[in-house]
Amino acid sequence: GTLIKPGSKPPTTPVKLKKVSTFQEFESNTSDAWDLGDDDDELLAIAAENLNTEVVMETAHKVIQNHSKLQEQHKFQEEHLQEEKQVESAELSSVACGDNRLVKSVSEGHTSSSSEELRKLSWSGIPKRVRPIAWKLLSGYLPANVDRRESTLQRKRKEYFAFVEQYYDSRNDENHQDTYRQIHIDIPRMSPEVLRLQPKVTEIFERILFIWAIRHPASGYVQGINDLVTPFFIVFVCEYIEEEVVENFDVSSLPEEVLQNIEADSYWCMSKLLDGIQDNYTFAQPGIQKKVKMLEELVSRIDEQVHRHLDQHEVKYLQFAFRWMNNLLMREVPLRCTIRLWDTYQSEPEGFSHFHLYVCAAFLVRWRKEILEEKDFQELLIFLQNLPTVHWGNEEISVLLAEAYRLKFAFADAPNHYKK
Amino acid sequence: MQKHNQKEHLYKLLVIGDLGVGKTSIIKRYVHQNFSPHYRATIGVDFALKVLSWDAETVVRLQLWDIAGQERFGNMTRVYYREAMGAFIVFDVTRPATFEAVTKWKEDLDSKLVLPNGKPVPTVLLANKCDQGIDVLMNNGIKMDQFCKENGFVGWFETSAKENININEASRCLVKHIIASESDPVQSIEPDIIKPHLNSSKIVSCSACFKS
């Protein structure tokens, strides 16, 4: 249903982020953004009006400065959303336009231009309450046309459970038992940070992964794919519960039908994600090998000192970045950060494949000081495999994404910068 | 801090075997003295360091390379194996299939890695989760000593990461064989002084000089 009916049309984005083919074109398109220079007040004023990519594109420093202000805005909007529900207040303050436009975009989309709008608005982070629907739209699981959504959901959910019916009994057959056993060993030992040790959740994860593996024989089940179910599952569970803290929520308290919906939705969204990074998981994982090479090349251009330092101490990128690619950084940052990261990945064209590379580069260089201080192979590798991100939240991810975005524009259209 | 004439060895050790046999648990127990039933599946390779006081004059630093059990990479294990001086191959005594995979891992290792003198790297076989009682070895009537001899293992141990059984012993056994293989007559042309190895590049130069 419609959550909000804004009284006025959202202001149009000042800079259209159409596909730019050169850095110059990008630069000229966004010249007004850069021209703001050091005038923080003006920038903040604009940020308050347009929560969009241009804000994020500003330097990491400015993102930090904006953060507290944005937090207030989010809070303000959340409050408004509550009021809306109860009082049916007529219109919303223009201050809250960014996220409210997102809510509108999610609930009233009809056209392809509205899904473009959704992408722009989602780039800088999606409010928790609209995230489930926004993710389903962004992943391409749900159609933009609001009238077709309910029927699509019903059809896809039915389709998924037909797969379960068709394949799941074969999990102990000779040709499938290896796959099932691997999944069965991996799921219970996933980190207990969320829900996963509950038998109900284990069952759901095993079914999702087994069905996906059987239907994608070119890759089958590859360790790491199991992690990719988690963000979808958690986000979709949140659609049905009021609790702020999901960790301790008893999943089996949800009605069976709701659990089935969550399961099917998680399956399809994960499938959509994996469609975009298939070669990461086919034999010999060529996608990952290629991306690790590209990361190395990219870092050598961005920060030669860090690159040389790693090289001098014989640290190979594959030794730490394989996992970054295979698990999309999920092992390197807390789950809440992954969820925030995926808001952006799903808003970016080729977010999980191409843009992820720039995020990884920004992530590595983020630790340059610590890296340069380590003077020994052992210490370097132990540091790189255990990066201190436990306390990370939205702020750190926003900074990381802003830097990645900058790198993408500086290097994306100049392939010679990272290809030999 | 270091005693004046103390020798220091640095060895790269591999820990390989099928998924879920307890490779990570063994390393965590050995290095951090703790255990959890919920170590997540290793992705790619995990790295750990253990420092041993071998004897009054010798410190041994062990680089432990915990390699993901789901071998997807084909040629990737070759990259991880490079310059290793010894290996543990682990199986789970409660799952016969993981024991059947032991020879597969051993062949993979020996085909991709040899010592500078052309011999296979010393490898110890670990029969892990021995605390869980169900003994594959007994059930299958396999004579482990004979199996090790036939397959080129320098020794084997029943281990439990959970109960901390035999892990230190297995490691000492492997290190002993590595040191012995280093002082192989063919190699002892080099003076018996080992300089402190501060990074892995030292292994290269050390190994390389045996080639001449």
The encoded tokens of residue A270 equal: 């994960």
B72 chain-A contacts, CB cut-off 8 A: 222-223, 281, 283-285
Phi then psi dihedrals of residue A358, to 5 deg: -70, -35
Q: In what order do the strands lie in the sheet with B7-17?
A: B45-55, B58-67, B7-17, B86-92, B123-128, B155-158
Residue A147: pLDDT over 80? yes
Residue A88 corresponds to which tokens in the numbers above?
A: 């049916």
Cβ-proximal residues to A147 (8 Å cutoff; 6+ apart), any chain: none
Lowest mean pLDDT segment, chosen from A61-65, B18-22, B145-149: A61-65
pLDDT (0 to 100) of residue B45:
94
What does the pLDDT average to over A170-199? 85
Exposure class string for A113-141: b at 16+ Cβ within 10 A, else e: ebbebbbbbbbbbbbebbbbbbbbbbbbb
Average pLDDT over residues A146-168: 96
User: What local confidence, expressed as pLDDT, does residue A188 receive?
Assistant: 86
Q: How far apart are CA A226 and CA A6, in angstroms?
A: 40
Q: Can you state the angle between helices A335-345 and A225-238, rounded to 10 degrees?
A: 90
Any idea what the Cα angle at residue A232 is, between residues A102 and A350, rounded to 5°?
70
Interval A202-239: pLDDT, tens: 999 999 999 999 999 999 999 999 999 999 999 999 99
Q: Which of A213, A242, A275 is the last residue of a domain?
A: A275
pLDDT of amino acid A314: 95
- Co-location of A248 and A291 in the same domain: no
Average pLDDT over every residue of A76-101: 44
**Burial (0-12, 13-18, 19+ Cβ within 10 Å), B162:** middle
Q: Do A289 and A406 fall within a single domain? A: yes
Do the Cβ atoms of B44 and A318 come within 8 Å? yes
Mean local confidence (pLDDT), B164-168? 97
A89 occurs within a structural domain: yes
pTM for this prediction: 0.80
Q: How far is B30 from chain A (nearest CA, A)?
A: 16
Average pLDDT rounded to a whole number, residues A117-136:
94
Q: How many CB atoms lie within 10 A of CB A211?
A: 21
Quick check: is A420 in a domain?
no
Stretch A373-379: mean pLDDT: 95
Helix (H) or strand (E) holding A291: helix A286-302
Residue A139 lies in a domain: no
Query: Domain boundary residue among A248, A275, A302?
Result: A275
Cβ <8 Å between B79 and A226? no
Amino acid at A369: K
DSSP labels, A193-250: TSSTTSHHHHHHHHHHHHHHHHH-TTT---TTHHHHHHHHHHHHHHTT---S--TT--
The chain-wide mean pLDDT, for chain A, equals 80
How many whole angstroms separate alpha carbon B41 and alpha carbon B39? 7
Question: Cβ–Cβ of B41/A284 closer than 8 Å?
Answer: no
- Rounded CA-CA distance A41/B35 in Å is 53
- Based on the domain organization, do A185 and A255 belong to the same domain? yes
Which has the closest alpha carbon to B106: B84, B90, B92? B90
CA-based nearest distance B134→chain A, Å: 18
Is residue A371 within 8 Å of residue A304, measured between CB atoms?
no
Q: How many domains does chain A have?
A: 3
Whether A294 and A404 share a structural domain? yes
What pLDDT, on a 0 to 100 scale, did the predictor assign at position A290?
Answer: 96
Give the end of a domain, one of A215, A240, A275: A275
Contact predicate A29/A413, CB 8 Å: no
Residue that the structure tokens 């379960």 belong to: A164
Which amino acid type is present at position A27? E
Q: What is the CATH number of the domain that holds A367?
A: 1.10.472.80
B42 contact residues in A (CB cutoff 8 A): 223
The answer to whether residues A164 and A265 belong to one domain is: yes
- A394-411 and A335-345 helices, crossing angle to 10°: 40
**B141 band by pLDDT with thresholds 50, 70 and 90:** low
Pick from A178, A184, A185 the residue to mutate for testing the B interface (most B CBs within 10 Å): A185
Return the percentage of chain A with pLDDT > 90, whole number.
61
Strands B58-67 and B45-55: antiparallel
Mean predicted confidence (pLDDT) in B1-7: 66
Percent of all residues in chain A with a pLDDT value above 70, rounded to a whole number: 71
List beta partners, residue B172: none
Tokens for B69, please give them: 């059990």
Give ipTM to 2 decimals. 0.83
pLDDT of residue B194: 46
When mean pLDDT is compared over A86-100, A111-125, A180-194, B170-184, the highest value belongs to B170-184
All structural domains of chain B, each given as residue ranges with its CATH number in brackets, are 7-183 (3.40.50.300)
Residues of B in contact with A283 (CB under 8 A): 72, 74
Sequence-separated contacts (24+) of A266-270 with Cβ below 8 Å: A266/A204, A266/A208, A266/A229, A266/A232, A266/A233, A266/A236, A267/A160, A267/A208, A267/A211, A267/A212, A268/A139, A268/A141, A268/A156, A268/A160, A269/A135, A269/A136, A269/A139, A269/A141, A269/A232, A270/A208, A270/A212, A270/A228, A270/A229, A270/A232
> B45 vs A319: CB contact, 8 Å cut-off?
yes
Q: Which of A39-53, A131-145, B125-139 has the highest mean pLDDT?
A: A131-145
Pure H helices in chain B = 23-32, 76-81, 96-100, 102-112, 136-139, 144-151, 167-182, 201-211
Say whether B1 sits in a helix, a strand or coil.
Answer: coil
- For residues A168 and A213, state if they share a domain: yes
pLDDT digits (tens, 9 = 90+) for A4-54: 444 444 444 344 444 444 444 444 444 333 333 344 444 444 444 443 344
> In this structure, is residue A348 part of a structural domain?
yes
Same domain for A368 and A347, yes or no, is yes
Residue B186 has pLDDT above 80, yes or no: no
**Co-location of A197 and A244 in the same domain:** yes
Q: Which of B39, B47, B73 sits opposite A385 (nearest CB)?
A: B47
Contact A314, B200 (CB under 8 A): yes
Residue A1 inside a domain? The answer is no
Name the least confident of A8-22, A114-128, B101-115: A8-22
Bridge partners of residue B60, in order along the sequence: B9, B52
Domain around A303: 23-32+285-411
Contacts of A116 (CB under 8 A, 6+ apart): none
B51-60 burial, b for 16+ CB within 10 Å, e for fewer?
ebebeeeebb
> In this predicted model, what pLDDT tens digit does every residue of A289-314 receive, in sequence order?
999 999 999 999 999 999 999 999 99
How many Å lie between the alpha carbon of B39 and the closest alpha carbon of chain A? 6
Q: At residue A253, what is the residue type?
A: S
The answer on pLDDT for B62 being more than 90 is yes
Q: Give the burial class of B14: count Cβ atoms within 10 A of its Cβ; 0-12 exposed, 13-18 middle, 19 or more buried.
A: buried
- Are A182 and B70 an interchain contact pair (Cβ–Cβ within 8 Å)? yes
**Does residue B198 surpass a pLDDT of 80?**
no
Higher pLDDT, A224 or A97: A224
Instruction: With beta carbons under 8 A apart, name residues in chain A contacting B200.
Output: 313-314, 377
Query: Is there a contact between B44 and A192 if contact means CB atoms under 8 Å apart?
Result: no
pLDDT for residue B27 is more than 90: yes
Quick check: is A390 in a domain? yes
CB B205 within 8 A of CB B18: no
Q: Is-contact B48 B64, C-beta < 8 A?
A: yes
B29 SS3 class? helix
Chain B interface with A: residues with Cβ < 8 Å:
19-20, 37-49, 61, 63, 68-70, 72-76, 79, 198-201
The answer on A293 and A262 residing in a single domain is no
Contact A205, A212 (CB under 8 A): no
Mark yes or no for CB contact A224/B46 under 8 Å.
no
Angle in degrees, 0-180, between the axes of helices A60-87 and A40-49, rounded to the nearest 10? 40
The pLDDT tens digits of the residues spanning B28-47 come to: 999 999 998 888 999 999 99
State how far the Cα of A129 lies from the Cα of A42, in Å rounded to an integer. 30
Query: Who wins on pLDDT, A80 or B56?
Result: B56
3-state helix, strand, coil in chain B (%, to 5): 35, 25, 40
Q: What is the pLDDT of residue B55?
A: 92
* pLDDT score for A125: 96
User: pLDDT tens digits, residue range A386-417?
Assistant: 999 999 999 999 999 999 999 999 986 555 54
Same domain, A119 and A163: no
Could B19 and A182 be called an inter-chain contact, meaning their C-beta atoms sit closer than 8 Å? yes
Categorise residue B37: left if φ over 0, alpha if ψ from -120 to 50, beta otherwise: alpha
Give the model's confidence band at A189: pLDDT under 50 very low, under 70 low, under 90 confident, else very high: confident
Residue A257 CA to residue A161 CA, distance in Å, equals 12
In a domain, A401, yes or no: yes
Q: Which amino acid is at B84?
A: A
> Shortest Cα distance from A108 to chain B (angstroms)?
41
Residue A158 and residue A224 in one domain = yes
**Tokens coding A159:** 């389709």
Residue B61 C-alpha, separation from nearest chain A C-alpha, in angstroms: 10
Residues of B in contact with A191 (CB under 8 A): 38, 40
Same domain, A121 and A163: no
Q: Are A347 and A120 in contact (CB under 8 A)?
A: yes
In a domain, A39, yes or no: no
Asked if the Cβ–Cβ distance from A285 to B73 is below 8 Å, we say yes
What confidence tier does B196 reach under pLDDT thresholds 50, 70, 90? Answer: very low
Residue B207 pLDDT exceeds 60: no
Listed range (A70-84, A159-173, A253-267, B186-200) with the worst mean pLDDT:
B186-200
Query: How many A-B residue pairs are in contact by the CB < 8 A criterion?
Result: 86
Task: Average the pLDDT over A263-269 and give the result.
Answer: 98
| A322–B63 CB contact, under 8 Å | no
- Decide: A160 and A211 in contact? Cβ < 8 Å: yes
CA distance B144 to B89: 14
What pLDDT score does A114 carry?
78
Instruction: Output the pLDDT for position A62.
Output: 52
DSSP code, position B160: B
State yes or no: pLDDT of B52 exceeds 60: yes
